[in-house]
Amino acid sequence: MPEIKLKCSCGKVKGKTKNVNESSGTRIMCCCDDCQSFAQYLNQESSVLDQYGGTDIFQMPISNIKITEGIEQISSVRLSAKGMYRRYTICCNTPIGNTMGPGVPFIGVIHNFMDNASTRDEELGKNRGHIQTKFARQEVPTELKGSSLKIILRSLSKLIVWKIKGLNKPSVFFDDNGKPIAKPNILN
């Protein structure tokens, strides 16, 4: 399976994935208000969001991601006290991805952090559709909409398998005792 290079836009933070292809994870376009707020928070709306306000995300196990350079440049924000940890680089405000607590073997990597703009469809397959389209900035054409139910079921069943396989460790964001490596900012 292809290994994908990870890189922030200025190049200070680098890493790579392993074991990634169309069937190993789930590629979606998330139009939810929180993903849009995250892009806004980073002042990166034009580079992150598509015309519908969707963020191109690849969901995969956290342990299949490695940061090889610039880990000290990584910070995170939570849009609310119980929100996801949204990771980004402080060097150039590149969104990295969305993660949950230390026990959850999940990251939704945002396209900007994957150095594969020209080979993305080939490596990860086409996206499975726009979801959470009630938050979209303009009407999403029916043929671009994904079935939220189908995608949720797929994501959940993958999550269960990843959990059984223990793919929440090692994590680049938590130590082996589950303590966060950097303290997130929490927004109100």
Identify which of residues 51 and 177 has a Cβ nearer to Zn ion in the complex. Answer: 51
Q: Least distance (Å) from Zn ion to the CB of residue 167?
A: 22
Identify which of residues 78 and 169 has a Cβ nearer to Zn ion in the complex. Answer: 78
Rounded distance between C-alpha atoms, residue 30 and residue 53, angstroms: 8
Rg (CA), the chain: 15
9-40 residues labelled b (16+ CB within 10 A) or e (exposed): beebbbbbbeebebebbbbbbbbbebbbbbbe
Q: What is the DSSP string of 37-53?
A: HHHHHTT-HHHHB-TTS
Rounded distance between C-alpha atoms, residue 7 and residue 15, angstroms: 6
Q: Least distance (Å) from Zn ion to the CB of residue 14?
A: 9
Enter the tokens of residue 88.
């980004």
Distance from first CA to last CA of the chain, Å, rounded?
41
* One residue of 89, 116, 168, 171 binding Zn ion per CB under 5 A: 89
Identify which of residues 8 and 96 has a Cβ nearer to Zn ion in the complex. Answer: 8
Indicate whether 32 belongs to the interface with Zn ion (CB under 5 A): yes
Q: Which stretch binds Zn ion (CB under 5 A): 29-37, 75-83, 154-162, 175-183?
A: 29-37
Indicate whether 161 belongs to the interface with Zn ion (CB under 5 A): no
Indicate whether 8 belongs to the interface with Zn ion (CB under 5 A): yes
For the segment 35-64, give every residue that binds Zn ion (CB under 5 A): 35
Q: Which stretch binds Zn ion (CB under 5 A): 60-68, 85-93, 138-146, 148-156?
A: 85-93
Q: Which residues contact 99 (CB under 8 A, 6 or more apart)?
A: 62, 84, 85, 87, 106, 107, 108, 171, 173
* One residue of 1, 5, 10, 153 binding Zn ion per CB under 5 A: 10
Indicate whether 90 belongs to the interface with Zn ion (CB under 5 A): no
Q: Note the residues at the interface with Zn ion (CB under 5 A).
A: 8, 10, 12, 30, 32, 35, 89, 91-92
